[in-house]
C-alpha cells in the first residue's frame, strides 16, 4: 500500500532523512521506533506533504504522492494523527469528529464510523458536547484518533500517541489501537518512543536512528535483537 524508497528530506541545509526505505502492506500494522531526533516525525510530515523530499519515491496505493498536493492526500485515504494531538480546542468533541469526516469517504461512512468511534471510546460519547480544550490529555488523544478514523482512511498514521500521557492511559490507547485493528483490518503506521509496547502491538517494525533505517524485522525478531534489547528495552 505504501512504498517509501530511498527518501531524503531536509530542513533548509540540515539533512534529516537519509535514504529511508519502508514498505507497508495493506492491512499491516507497522511501527517505526527510535530516539528523539531520529527523523520519525519528519518522515510522517513528508508522507503528508508538509515537508518536501529532496530525493526518493513515495507511492501510496499505486499513486505517486510526489504529484499529489498535500491538501489532496487525505482524500486518497491517508489520515495523519499528529504529534501533540492538535485537536481544535474551541470546537466540541462532535465538531472535531465532523472535521475529520470532510473527505468524500468520510462523509459516506459518517454514521457507521461515528458509531464505531463512540463504541471504542465511550468517553467521547459522554463528552460529545464538551469543548475539546477542556478534555484531559488522554481524552484529547482519543479524540485525535477518532478524528482520523472519521475520514474513513485506508492508512492511519499515528505520531507518538502515548506522548505526555500517564502509563495507564498510554496502555489504554495501545489497547484501543489493537481493537481498531481487530475490528477494521485498517493499515496502521505508528511512530512511537515506547518501543516495547510499539513492537508488541505491531506486525513489523523499523528502527530509525539519525535519519537512517538501521534495523527492520518482525516484532519477534526485533524484540530478540540484542541491539534493540540493550538500547530500547532496558534488557
Query: With DSSP H G I counted as helix, E B as strand and the rest as coil, what are the percentages for the chain, rounded to 5?
Result: 45, 25, 30
Can you give the pLDDT at residue 193?
Answer: 83
Indicate the average pLDDT of the chain. 94
Tell me what the mean pLDDT of segment 53-65 comes to: 96
List pLDDT tens digits, range 78-100.
999 999 889 999 999 999 999 99
CATH code given to domain 21-231: 3.40.50.300
Can you give the pLDDT at residue 235?
Answer: 54
* 107: its cell numbers: 462523509
Rounded CA gap, 15 and 32, in Å? 19
The predicted model scores a pTM of: 0.94
- Is the distance from CB of 91 to CB of 131 less than 8 angstroms? yes
Of 64-68, 70-74, 136-140, 231-235, minimum mean pLDDT range: 231-235
Tell me what the mean pLDDT of segment 221-231 comes to: 90
DSSP for 58-106? Answer: EEETTEEGGGS-HHHHHHHTEEEE-TT----TTSBHHHHHHHHTTSHHH
For 82: left if phi > 0, alpha if psi spans -120 to 50, otherwise beta; the answer is beta
Tell me, rounded to whole angstroms, the distance of Cα 141 from its chain centroid.
12
User: 145 CB contacts (<8 Å, ≥6 apart)?
Assistant: 81, 121, 156, 158, 161, 173, 176, 177, 180
User: 14 CB contacts (<8 Å, ≥6 apart)?
Assistant: none
Element (H, E) at 15: strand 14-24
Can you give the pLDDT at residue 159?
Answer: 96
Domain assignments of the chain as residue spans, ordered by start:
21-231
Rounded CA gap, 44 and 122, in Å? 28
Can you give the pLDDT at residue 128?
Answer: 97
Element (H, E) at 94: helix 93-100
Rounded CA gap, 86 and 67, in Å? 27
- Is the distance from CB of 54 to CB of 10 less than 8 angstroms? yes
Tell me what the mean pLDDT of segment 140-154 comes to: 97
- Is the distance from CB of 73 to CB of 49 less than 8 angstroms? yes
Closest CA to 31 of 232, 210, 195: 195
Tell me which residue has cell 469517504.
105
φ, ψ dihedrals at 38, nearest 5°? -75, -20
Amino acid at each position: 500500500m505504501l512504498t517509501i524508497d530511498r527518501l531524503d528530506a531536509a530542513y533548509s541545509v540540515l539533512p534529516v532523512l537519509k535514504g529511508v526505505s519502508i514498505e507497508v502492506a495493506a492491512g499491516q500494522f507497522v511501527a517505526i521506533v527510535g530516539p528523539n531526533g531520529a527523523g520519525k516525525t519528519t518522515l510522517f510530515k513528508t508522507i503528508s506533504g508538509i515537508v518536501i523530499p529532496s530525493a526518493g519515491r513515495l507511492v501510496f496505493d499505486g499513486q505517486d504522492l510526489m504529484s499529489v498536493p498535500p491538501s489532496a492526500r487525505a482524500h486518497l485515504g491517508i489520515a495523519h494523527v499528529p504529534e501533540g494531538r492538535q485537536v481544535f480546542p474551541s470546537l466540541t468533541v462532535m465538531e472535531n469528529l465532523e472535521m475529520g469526516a470532510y473527505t468524500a469517504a468520510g462523509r459516506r461512512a459518517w454514521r457507521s464510523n461515528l458509531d464505531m468511534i463512540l463504541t471504542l471510546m465511550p468517553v467521547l460519547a459522554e463528552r460529545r458536547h464538551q469543548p475539546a480544550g477542556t478534555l484531559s490529555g488522554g481524552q484529547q488523544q482519543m479524540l485525535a484518533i477518532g478524528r482520523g478514523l472519521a475520514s474513513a482512511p485506508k492508512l492511519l498514521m499515528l505520531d507518538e500517541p502515548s506522548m505526555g500521557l500517564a502509563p495507564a492511559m498510554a496502555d489504554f490507547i495501545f489497547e484501543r489501537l489493537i481493537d481498531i485493528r481487530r475490528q477494521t483490518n485498517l493499515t496502521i503506521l505508528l511512530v512511537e518512543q515506547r518501543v516495547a509496547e510499539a513492537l508488541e502491538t505491531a506486525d513489523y517494525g523499523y528502527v530509525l536512528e539519525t535519519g537512517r533505517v538501521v534495523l527492520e524485522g518482525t516484532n519477534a525478531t526485533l524484540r530478540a535483537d540484542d541491539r534493540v534489547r540493550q538500547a530500547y528495552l532496558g534488557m
